[in-house]
Structure 1
């Protein structure tokens, strides 16, 4: 196998992995967006996260 053939095969493998990664990350982002819409973060009580100074 020549170096150009090896390089072409490598490019094809990398392109396939990139497409697979993109699909996986899009799915994860979609799932995250869907879960945020279903269960938004509860709001803390006003002033609960502040420290009272004398």
Structure 2
């Protein structure tokens, strides 16, 4: 592999890691918001009547 390809791969790996980190943070924020609001969702079976 050439040096340029190696740099691009490491850049892609860094971007992928940042995306995973961002996804984990967003999921944690969503869970936190959901717990603050309480789980007031109606289960799908009950909603259909």
Name the structure where helix makes up a greater proportion of residues. Answer: 2
TM-score normalised per structure 1? 0.67
Runs of 4+ in 1 over 4 A off after TM superposition: none
TM-score normalised per structure 2? 0.73
Give the unaligned 5+ runs of structure 1: 45-49
Larger radius of gyration between Structure 1 and Structure 2: 1
Output the aligned Cα RMSD.
2.1
Structure 1 pair 43–26 and aligned structure 2 pair: CA distance change class (3 A): closer
Give the unaligned 5+ runs of structure 2: 43-48
Give the paired residue count.
46
